[in-house]
Chains A and B, each alone.
Chain A
């Protein structure tokens, strides 16, 4: 039996996010998995129909935490110490990355971030194997974790979301009250932004050095708008000043995992691929047929973007009309 705690996250409406359902899939694959979903906040909401054995609610973080997750770290450390699971799973979100790491070091547990595979050993529930990309996705590393609990974060999109339903037992876990808050958040400032957020977009249209200048990004923006997506860019295009660095996809920029990632004039250096390799499908348009992007892409056109893109855009428009 492998006991697993999945730490759930919710969207603004209180619904369980897709990445938590992906974690449930990853947990279900472990030998004879007994899964508990831990949810922060006072009402379990849609977690009560997850296909797991138990749902545990802990203190309503939204109203008591300071945004740096001091409270969540303290609460989860108390729960994990009381529950002694074999595995604690987070999504590789800001929350999961910070709280997972802090929790592991607070209780002296092993931490493996950004896993794309996780496996158990049917004869030894305490031994967990994980695989994670390293060196910007150029290599894969397989690790064995022999000490319990193993605390992991899972890369978005590495597992299919579990859409089954179930009837878990719902419990609440009382913590010892509020964590001392050494760090105070006085306000949150929203920065205005046009269109769809790059990290959330189902379609990303990205441009690179091959575009040759800033003007072509307006064509990319047109395509992104038709698709209801966002515009990305390679580091070379951002460094050249053709587009703001907030659009940069890659190791030093943003990580995206859209359904379709359209790379125009991008060579596909590992730096860049690190930010988009978990896309469902990569589509490459590049005039150099030998460039690395074609090794990563599912569909491609070898050709000059100036000739390929207008007809592609026009056809997409017709299909969408």
Chain B
């Protein structure tokens, strides 16, 4: 039996963009894409791809589908999971889908999963590096009425159950969940593997399957925001650093400690 896994993935601005290049257009409340820095697949979502690939490594017959909602996809970026070893790329692509609130995103993902499913496991990353919502996958579990386990660091399929380790502050829990379930994958799963040349070649030949929102039975009216963005801006740094100087660098170190004591910080 093939275990069908869908991994939720998001295209985000490269979080390694230097702060000096990060700019916002305050008239539209949008980030101005830095020139010459292409977007990437959210790094946390690659952890979820890695989790699915680890199941395959362990001998489970898996089919891995990447699902993403947005517009103006950069295919070179979105194909990275396929180059790592994922089988399919499904895009719900339509202007405006990059501006949904999380409730709208969950509605689209749920409809797409209904259309393209059924799936045995739905995997998401821990959070997105742009809007850091960290709750789309959790909300999806509620909307699909499926069991949820967050922050999974290890998983193994046994029959119609999935055995999991869930990260907790001082260790982990051993958890058994049914199939189907929704899981968020923690970065403790391990570094996402680098695509090899063969993977990159194979990914380049595969075409994504593209849906419009009408294809999945929705209209923009179904996606009205519950939470409205009023303003997006880069905060002025009003923090003025107090630079401690001394006769030499060693003296500066000594004075720094004394200054921190003066401020009752140590």
Q: A residues bordering B, Cβ < 8 Å?
A: 67-68, 94, 97-98, 100-102, 104-106, 109-114, 129, 133-136, 138-147, 182-191, 193, 197, 199, 203, 227, 245, 251-253, 259-260, 269-271, 274, 280-281, 283-285, 289, 292, 294-304, 307-316, 319-320
Give 4 closest A-B pairs by Cβ, nearest first: A101-B135, A315-B257, A312-B253, A307-B249
Q: Is B194 an interface residue, CB under 8 A from the partner?
A: no
**Looking at the complex, which one of A94, A100, A294, A314 makes contact with B151 (CB distance below 8 Å)?**
A94
Asked whether, in the complex, the Cβ of A135 is within 8 Å of the Cβ of B22, the reply is yes
Asked whether, in the complex, the Cβ of B226 is within 8 Å of the Cβ of A109, the reply is yes
What's the tally of chain B residues with a CB closer than 8 Å to chain A? 82
Asked whether, in the complex, the Cβ of B250 is within 8 Å of the Cβ of A307, the reply is yes
Q: Is B177 an interface residue, CB under 8 A from the partner?
A: yes
A197-B169, A270-B19 known; A312-B256 Cβ under 8 A: yes
**In the complex, residue of chain A having the shortest beta-carbon distance to the beta carbon of B147:** A182
In the complex, what residues of B have CB within 8 A of residue A98's CB?
138, 150
Q: B residues bordering A, Cβ < 8 Å?
A: 13, 15-20, 22, 24, 29, 31, 43-44, 101-103, 106, 129-135, 138-143, 147-151, 166, 168-178, 181, 187, 226-235, 237, 239, 241-245, 248-254, 256-261, 263, 265-266
In the complex, what residues of B have CB within 8 A of residue A312's CB?
253-254, 256-257
A295-B237, A295-B241 known; A111-B135 Cβ under 8 A: yes
**Looking at the complex, which one of A109, A110, A185, A300 makes contact with B242 (CB distance below 8 Å)?**
A300
Enumerate 21 A-B pairs (CB-CB under 8 Å) in ascending A order.
A94-B169, A98-B150, A105-B106, A105-B140, A109-B226, A135-B130, A186-B176, A188-B171, A189-B172, A191-B171, A199-B169, A245-B187, A252-B129, A284-B241, A294-B241, A294-B243, A299-B244, A300-B244, A301-B243, A303-B249, A308-B253
Asked whether, in the complex, the Cβ of B230 is within 8 Å of the Cβ of A139, the reply is no
How far does the Cβ of A187 sit from chain B's closest Cβ, in whole Å? 5
**In the complex, residue of chain A having the shortest beta-carbon distance to the beta carbon of B139:** A105
With contacts defined as CB atoms under 8 Å apart, how many contacts are there between chain A and chain B in the complex? 255
**Looking at the complex, which one of A106, A143, A280 makes contact with B142 (CB distance below 8 Å)?**
A106
Asked whether, in the complex, the Cβ of A110 is within 8 Å of the Cβ of B227, the reply is yes
Asked whether, in the complex, the Cβ of A260 is within 8 Å of the Cβ of B103, the reply is no
Beyond A144-B227, A185-B175, A203-B266, 20 additional pairs, beta carbon < 8 A: A68-B148, A68-B166, A111-B103, A111-B135, A133-B132, A135-B15, A135-B31, A135-B129, A142-B232, A144-B228, A144-B230, A183-B148, A183-B175, A185-B174, A197-B169, A289-B243, A299-B242, A299-B260, A312-B254, A319-B266
Asked whether, in the complex, the Cβ of A307 is within 8 Å of the Cβ of B22, the reply is no
**Looking at the complex, which one of A139, A274, A292 makes contact with B24 (CB distance below 8 Å)?**
A139
Asked whether, in the complex, the Cβ of B241 is within 8 Å of the Cβ of A141, the reply is no
A97-B134, A300-B241, A315-B253 known; A67-B172 Cβ under 8 A: no
**In the complex, residue of chain B having the shortest beta-carbon distance to the beta carbon of A303:** B249
**Looking at the complex, which one of A104, A145, A146, A313 makes contact with B139 (CB distance below 8 Å)?**
A104
Asked whether, in the complex, the Cβ of B168 is within 8 Å of the Cβ of A94, the reply is yes
